[in-house]
C-alpha cells in the first residue's frame, strides 16, 4: 500500500530548487566526469561550486540548466523529476533559469541593450513592453551609458556585467554562472560578485562555478567542492573579510 509523503517531507521538497539523487554523468563512452552526486539546493540559497580544472564544475551546471542528461540517477528541478520531462517541456522550464556562460556568448552585431533584451524578444515580448525595464537593469549593472555600445567595444568587466543582465532580464528563479570572474581583475571580480549577492538578496537562487579560491574564502557562502567528479571535503580556507557585505 502506497504512503503519502509527510507534511514535513512535502515542505522540504517545496523548499528545494535543485536536488541530485545518485547522479553520474559521462560523455559518450568516456569515463565518468561526475560520480554519484547527492545534494540539494534550497530556494533562495547561494552556493559556490569549486574544484580543479576537469573536476566536473561545468558539467554539473549543464545538468542543472538541462543542456545535458545524467547517465544515471535523477536531477530534480523545481520539484520536477527531469527524467520524466518531454522535449517539448524543456523550453518553458529553461525560462526559469538564467545562465552566465564561461565564454559569455554575446552577439557582437547587437548593442548592449539588444543583447540584454534578447531573452524577452525570443519569448515574444514587444520592445515597447520591456524597453524601460531593460534600460533600468543595464543602469543597475553599471552600463546605463553603454546601452548602444557593441560588445567588441566593451571592456572585460563590462561584458561580464552585460552577460549577467541578459541572464536575469526575465527574472529567473535560479542563476547559474560558470567562471564569471575568470577574465577580470580582482577589483572587478569583487564588483561582479556583489551583483550576484544583491540578486540573491532579491530572492534569486545563485550557483557560481569558480576556481577563484580567494573570492570563495572572502564570501562566507556554502561550497560544493568537486574532486574527480565527486563532492569532497573542503580544504581549510583563509580568513574572511566580508566581500559580500
Indicate whether 128 and 92 sit together in one domain.
Answer: no
Residue (of 229, 212, 233) closest to 57 by Cα position? 229
Of 171, 191, 209, which residue constitutes the final position of a domain?
171
Indicate whether 46 and 86 sit together in one domain.
Answer: yes
pTM of the predicted protein model: 0.86
Return the minimum-mean-pLDDT range out of 53-57, 136-140, 148-152, 236-240: 236-240
Q: What are residue 143's phi and psi, to 5 degrees?
A: -120, 20
Q: Is residue 237 part of a domain?
A: no
Measured torsion, CA atoms of residues 117, 122, 123, 126, in degrees rounded to the nearest 10 = 60
Query: CATH no. for residue 52?
Result: 3.40.50.300
Indicate whether 191 and 86 sit together in one domain.
Answer: yes
What's the domain count of the chain? 2
Indicate whether 166 and 186 sit together in one domain.
Answer: no
Indicate whether 122 and 23 sit together in one domain.
Answer: no
Question: How many Å apart are CA 7 and CA 83, to the nearest integer?
Answer: 25
174-232 pLDDT, tens digit each: 999 999 988 888 888 888 899 999 999 999 999 999 988 888 988 889 999 999 899 98
Name, in order, each residue with C-beta under 8 angstroms of 145's C-beta and a sequence gap of 6 or more.
none
Indicate whether 92 and 115 sit together in one domain.
Answer: no
Indicate whether 178 and 163 sit together in one domain.
Answer: no
Q: Is residue 204 part of a domain?
A: yes
Question: How many Å apart are CA 242 and CA 219, to the nearest integer?
Answer: 6
Of 137, 171, 205, which residue constitutes the final position of a domain?
171
Containing domain of residue 185, as a range?
A: 19-96+172-232
In which element (H, E) is residue 240 found?
none
Of 128, 153, 171, which residue constitutes the final position of a domain?
171
Sheet containing 32-42: order of strands: 32-42, 16-26, 72-77, 80-81
79-107 pLDDT, tens digit each: 999 999 888 888 888 889 999 998 899 99
In which element (H, E) is residue 8 found?
helix 7-15
Could you tell me if 134 and 114 are in contact, meaning their C-beta atoms sit under 8 angstroms apart? no
Amino acid at each position: 500500500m502506497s504512503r503519502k509523503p509527510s507534511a514535513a517531507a512535502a515542505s522540504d521538497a517545496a523548499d528545494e530548487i535543485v536536488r541530485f539523487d545518485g547522479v553520474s554523468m559521462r560523455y559518450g563512452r568516456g569515463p565518468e566526469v561526475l560520480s554519484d552526486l547527492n545534494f540539494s539546493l534550497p530556494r533562495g540559497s547561494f552556493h559556490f561550486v569549486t574544484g580543479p580544472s576537469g573536476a566536473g564544475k561545468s558539467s554539473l551546471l549543464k545538468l542543472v540548466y538541462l543542456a545535458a542528461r545524467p547517465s544515471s540517477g535523477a536531477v530534480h528541478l523545481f520539484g520536477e523529476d527531469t527524467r520524466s520531462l518531454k522535449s517539448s517541456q524543456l523550453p518553458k522550464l529553461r525560462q526559469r533559469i538564467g545562465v552566465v556562460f564561461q565564454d559569455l556568448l554575446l552577439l557582437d552585431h547587437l548593442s548592449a541593450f539588444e543583447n540584454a533584451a534578447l531573452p524577452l524578444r525570443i519569448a515574444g515580448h514587444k520592445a515597447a513592453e520591456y524597453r524601460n525595464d531593460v534600460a533600468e537593469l543595464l543602469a543597475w549593472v553599471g552600463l546605463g551609458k553603454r546601452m548602444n555600445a557593441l560588445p567588441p567595444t566593451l571592456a572585460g568587466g563590462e561584458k561580464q556585467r552585460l552577460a549577467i543582465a541578459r541572464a536575469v532580464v526575465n527574472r529567473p528563479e535560479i542563476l547559474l554562472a560558470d567562471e564569471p570572474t575568470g577574465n577580470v581583475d580582482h577589483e572587478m571580480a569583487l564588483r561582479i560578485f556583489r551583483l550576484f549577492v544583491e540578486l540573491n538578496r532579491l530572492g534569486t537562487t545563485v550557483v557560481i562555478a569558480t576556481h577563484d579560491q580567494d573570492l570563495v574564502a572572502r564570501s562566507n557562502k556554502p561550497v560544493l567542492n568537486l574532486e574527480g567528479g565527486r563532492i569532497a571535503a573542503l580544504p581549510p580556507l583563509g580568513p574572511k573579510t566580508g566581500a559580500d557585505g
